[in-house]
Amino acid sequence: MQHTPILLPDDDQRSAEKRVISLLRAWNTGAEAQQDMWEDLATSMGDLRAKSCLQAFEQMLGLLNLHGWQSLAIMPIGTKGVSPDEAALARFVMASTEQRRDAALAEAGFFVSPAGLLPLLCAASKFGLPLLCEECRSRILPPSVRTPTH
């Protein structure tokens, strides 16, 4: 018997949440997708912000691997819809970034053991902040005015 993953619609997600998921998928795909991910981030937010964003992303993934209850279901690039794990992680990153600590800790409890809760919360907020800033800039500035800041 073949099992098909249940995917959630991605229509109601914010652009920053979609960005979290696309970065997760690119990271799991391989070196070429990771390079594309880097170039896209650097173009969008500048080298310095992109570097700090990816460092926090790697730290967050390391904590998920070290303290995680289980491996996350990350779909391949181009999949329409999102896995429940991808959606939950994107919500967690945004809750951490927006200082909704109770919601973030509740989400984190499903990902990691108690020893990893606070470090994961800190890494996720550092990862999500540049993405949230990118989302805000896209709402304020017309496309022709957006330029990366260094």
Angle of the 117-140 helix axis to the 84-97 helix axis, nearest 10: 80
- CA angle (78 as vertex; 11, 106 as ends), nearest 5: 55
- 70 backbone dihedrals φ, ψ, rounded to 5°: -160, 170
Q: Which residues contact 73 (CB under 8 A, 6 or more apart)?
A: 5, 83, 84, 85, 86
Q: Which residue has the higher pLDDT, 2 or 19?
A: 19
Identify the bridge partners of residue 82 per DSSP, sorted by sequence position: 8
Write down the pLDDT at residue 140. Answer: 72
Tens digits of residue pLDDT in 6-63 = 776 666 778 888 999 999 999 988 888 888 888 988 888 889 999 999 999 999 999 9
pTM of structure: 0.81
Summarised one tens digit per residue, pLDDT across range 86-139 is 999 999 999 999 989 899 998 898 899 999 999 999 999 999 998 888 776 776
Predicted confidence band of residue 145 (pLDDT cuts 50, 70, 90): very low
